[in-house]
Amino acid sequence: MEATFGNDSPRSHVVRQLILAFSGLLLLALVLGMVSLYRIAQGLDERELVQSRFHAESALVQLQKSERSYLWTHAAWQAAYDHLVVAVDPHWAFEEDNVGATLFTEDGYEGVFVLDDDGTHYAVVRGRLSDQGLEQYSASSGRILQQAREAVQRQQPASGYLVFAGQPALFTAAVIRPPTLPHHLPAPKTVLVFIRVLAPAVLGQLGQSVGLAEFAVTAGAQLPKGKGHLPLEASGHSLTWHIEQPGSALIRAVFGPLIVAVLIIVLIMALFARYAMRTSAGIDRSHRQLAASKQALEASEARFKAVAEAASDWIWETDAQQHLTYLSPRFAELTGHPAEHWLQKPVSELFDCETGHVETWLHGLGASEATGSLRCQYHDQAGQRRECRVAAKAIIEHTICKGFRGTCTDITDEVTAHARIQHLSQHDPLTGLPNRNKLFRFLEDAGKASQAVLMLDLDNFKPINDSLGHPTGDAVLIEVAARLGQVTRGTDLVARLGGDKFVLVLAGPGTREEVDRFCARVIEALRRPMAIDQHRVQVGGSLGVVLSADYPGTPSDLIRFADVALYGAKQAGKNTWRYFSPQMNTALLDKRVLEQELREGIPRGELRLHFQPRFKVDGVTIASAEALVRWHHPRLGLLAPDRFIPLAEESDLIVLLGNWVLHQACGLARAWPLDILVSVNMSPAQFSRSDGVRDVAEALRSTGLPAHRLELEITENVMLNDVEGALHTMNALKELGVRLNMDDFGTGYSSLGYLRTYPFDSIKIDKRFIQALGKRSSDRSVVQAIINLGNAMGMTVTAEGVETPEQLAMLREDQCHEVQGFLLSRPIENEAFVRLMANSHANAPKGA
């Protein structure tokens, strides 16, 4: 049976223990039962023995008593005294049969003797006169004489046992004397003795009289087994008899069937144990399966719960007239309103909707029987306006609308966080001015409308920043932003590109002269001295201008044209402006040259991959490494990806570059000492210009890297143009088994919506948010909101661009999952990264 128990699971173990314990208990009970049965039997037997001995004893006592009284009638007799003591008169005694043959024939006495100290005076043995004395038949004559003479003091005969002619026998003896003895005579001493041999007939009758069978007398020590016995004192014999042994009989009667029953029970138990173990093994198996699915369920429940808690729903119901009839308890908790206050009131009084009427919306649902959801607002008890999503469905009974039922989800926090993220994604955190994203959008939205795009670069800013420190530098930038705001109109746009570069876009710029006047005003405004802290500083500015009416182009074309013009302005001396013209020397910036060089450089092996590790938030454990491409340009030296990726994205060059990166990254990662993820940035352009899914599958196939070790970092731009197609692509990538990471989270247009729709495993908070950490508390709350959101969706959240220990500490506190940044490691060559892994592996605690 052991074999069945094979790999013992905890459950089987328990079942086995239970069965063992139960069997043990049963066995114990059986043993106890048998012991007490045996005890009872023993007790019964003992009682029987004691009782039978009592009966045997009383039989003997009775016999002796009757024998004594019978003898007494012969001994305490005047005639006997006269004829046997004074002088033995055989005639009287034997012939007249006063003490003669009938004592044998009638009464069964084997011997009758009259004796005195000098021996036997008269003897009748077996009914005949005998000249042999008692001394000849037995060695006990002296003892008998003595006992008889002692007994006469008590007016009694003596009795006892002896061996008579080799046979056990009972004697009765008494001194012969007249009933009244004259005083002058000496005390008589002659003794009359009757001997009754304890023959089988005598014993049989004796036994019968007390209901005992097999009465017998046995000599010596060997007493028959299983018989009662009583020693017959001084005779060397014992009386034995058969004892009924009811206990033993009981045991004999019970034992056989009991053994059979025990055997049957043991057999049943064994079968049951086997069955139980099998069943339990089966249960274990299904439990393991159950546990696995339970775990999966719990994971999804936890996810749901996190969402649900963040969502904080309550439930409502109305009648057909849309008057509230039910509000769940959460209503009062969340809104602060007592439910009674709202019951019977129209639901449209509770909810406002900016995009439609709640009443009409519900009415429509009643007709269509569909489920709908509407973004609404309500005011809580404190008067605070809350955002919510109301879901509803009509209650239809027999095709009649009886009312409506639905939920209300408070999404105020989500909306606020979304708005903040949205703002931050569109604005420069330092100056609050629009950033590159918003600038591009503004240019796109303007379409063909005439615009002037001015690229501004501060003069003299770097020395101020270097000598007076970053806080002063920041204050200067903020002041510049303020002054630019003063010289522009509400329809214009002022954006900061980073550093000391700004872009101004004038909507409807008018004539060139008007633009000239504007440029002069800007420079004048900038040159006004600034009082910052105790310092008086002065900056200036150079402007490059392009008029879209003269040189139409995409937003990035316009920015590049303005940049070229700015270069011209700087060359012409500072604090001035220049208009773009194609004749400006742009050799260095000529993208066509660079594009050609890149196309030839890739096969020549001019690209290199660096790896930047990503750590768990402990800052020690390496979780993955991101591949970042570099170009060793033969003429320009090491170029960062920002210099050539945008260029490559404008043509199919991005496919060539992207596939090189994929193969290189997967191939190198396969040889790493740690089984960690490798993250590869995939440009959205690669998806639109090639079958990205096929490219990834091919890279995995040719390098042999397991799909689960590859992570693709994709910016949300990939979703912008073709939402359906992008979703299809993402799902196909997930089917390959790779992980998807949403890169630069927070810089796109509507990150939250995308997060819900697409199958991302993780999100990477853009470094801009991280770098703002610790500067303003509102930024930290945005980072927290993103982390919470990631948690609620079950996604891993990474923070990139971690540069200071303070940032790391805050991220750790806010339970961000993973971190990346210069603080922990810059992007490094593969060889260096392999060394880093080897070290971290060696230092890692065992089993980590």
Q: Both tokens of residue 16?
A: 């086995």
Which residues lie across from 162 on neighbouring strands?
Answer: 169
* Integer Rg of the chain from CA: 62
Which of residues 563, 744, 814, 818 is near Ca ion by CB under 5 A?
Answer: 744
Angle, helix 436-446 to helix 555-571, in steps of 10 degrees: 110
Distance in angstroms (rounded) separating the CA atoms of residues 162 and 141: 9
Helices (H), 406-530: 412-426, 436-446, 461-468, 470-487, 512-527
The smaller minimum CB distance to Ca ion, of residues 190 and 681, is found at: 681
Out of Ca ion, ligand C2E, none, what residue 641 binds, judged by CB under 5 to 8 A for its kind, is ligand C2E
The smaller minimum CB distance to ligand C2E, of residues 232 and 628, is found at: 628
Helices (H), 427-468: 436-446, 461-468
Which of residues 110, 459, 695, 713 is near Ca ion by CB under 5 A?
Answer: 713
Other Cβ atoms within 10 Å of 441 Cβ, number = 15
Which of residues 172, 681, 771, 798 is near Ca ion by CB under 5 A?
Answer: 681
Minimum CB separation from Ca ion for residue 717, in Å? 12
The smaller minimum CB distance to ligand C2E, of residues 81 and 615, is found at: 615
The smaller minimum CB distance to ligand C2E, of residues 544 and 821, is found at: 821
45, 248 in Cβ contact below 8 A? yes
Judged by CB under 5 A, the stretch of 147-155, 272-280, 719-727, 740-748 that binds Ca ion is 740-748
Out of Ca ion, ligand C2E, none, what residue 640 binds, judged by CB under 5 to 8 A for its kind, is ligand C2E
At 493, give phi and psi (nearest 5°).
-135, 135
Residues 6+ apart with CB under 8 A from 61: none
Minimum CB separation from ligand C2E for residue 764, in Å? 8
Q: Both tokens of residue 614?
A: 């990503």
Judged by CB under 5 A, the stretch of 6-14, 453-461, 586-594, 680-688 that binds Ca ion is 680-688
The smaller minimum CB distance to ligand C2E, of residues 191 and 678, is found at: 678
Minimum CB separation from Ca ion for residue 701, in Å? 24
716 binds Ca ion (CB under 5 A): no
Other Cβ atoms within 10 Å of 430 Cβ, number = 16
Out of ligand C2E, Ca ion, none, what residue 683 binds, judged by CB under 5 to 8 A for its kind, is ligand C2E
Judged by CB under 5 A, the stretch of 299-307, 570-578, 707-715, 754-762 that binds Ca ion is 707-715
Minimum CB separation from ligand C2E for residue 809, in Å? 15
Q: What is the DSSP letter of 346?
A: B
The DSSP H or E segment spanning 54 is helix 10-75
Minimum CB separation from ligand C2E for residue 789, in Å? 20
Judged by CB under 5 A, the stretch of 538-546, 711-719, 745-753, 784-792 that binds Ca ion is 711-719
The smaller minimum CB distance to ligand C2E, of residues 682 and 719, is found at: 682
Q: Quick one: which of 749, 753, 811 has its CA closest to 779? A: 811
Minimum CB separation from Ca ion for residue 578, in Å? 34
The smaller minimum CB distance to ligand C2E, of residues 44 and 677, is found at: 677
Judged by CB under 5 A, the stretch of 2-10, 37-45, 735-743, 805-813 that binds Ca ion is 735-743
Encode 532-558: b = buried (16+ Cβ within 10 Å), e = exposed.
beeeebebbbbbbbbbbeebeeebeeb
Angle, helix 777-792 to helix 412-426, in steps of 10 degrees: 120
Minimum CB separation from ligand C2E for residue 332, in Å? 47
For Ca ion (CB under 5 A), the number of binding residues is: 4
Out of ligand C2E, Ca ion, none, what residue 74 binds, judged by CB under 5 to 8 A for its kind, is none
Minimum CB separation from Ca ion for residue 711, in Å? 10
443, 451 in Cβ contact below 8 A? yes
Site for Ca ion in 606-645 (CB under 5 A): none
Looking up tokens 């939205």, which residue turns up? Answer: 445
At 818, give phi and psi (nearest 5°).
-135, 155
743 binds Ca ion (CB under 5 A): yes
Minimum CB separation from Ca ion for residue 663, in Å? 18
Encode 62-86: b = buried (16+ Cβ within 10 Å), e = exposed.
ebbeebbeebbebbbbeebbebbbe
Out of Ca ion, ligand C2E, none, what residue 629 binds, judged by CB under 5 to 8 A for its kind, is ligand C2E
The smaller minimum CB distance to ligand C2E, of residues 498 and 737, is found at: 498
**CA separation (Å) from 733 to 319, 380, 741, 758?**
48, 45, 12, 11
Minimum CB separation from ligand C2E for residue 487, in Å? 31
Looking up tokens 């948010």, which residue turns up? Answer: 769
Contact residues toward ligand C2E (CB under 6 A) are 612, 627-629, 640-642, 645, 658, 661, 681-683, 713, 743-744, 767, 800-803, 821-822, 827
Minimum CB separation from Ca ion for residue 773, in Å? 15
Distance in angstroms (rounded) separating the CA atoms of residues 498 and 428: 8
Distance in angstroms (rounded) separating the CA atoms of residues 174 and 192: 5
The smaller minimum CB distance to ligand C2E, of residues 456 and 628, is found at: 628
- Please give the residue ranges that form the binding site for Ca ion (CB under 5 A): 681, 713, 743-744
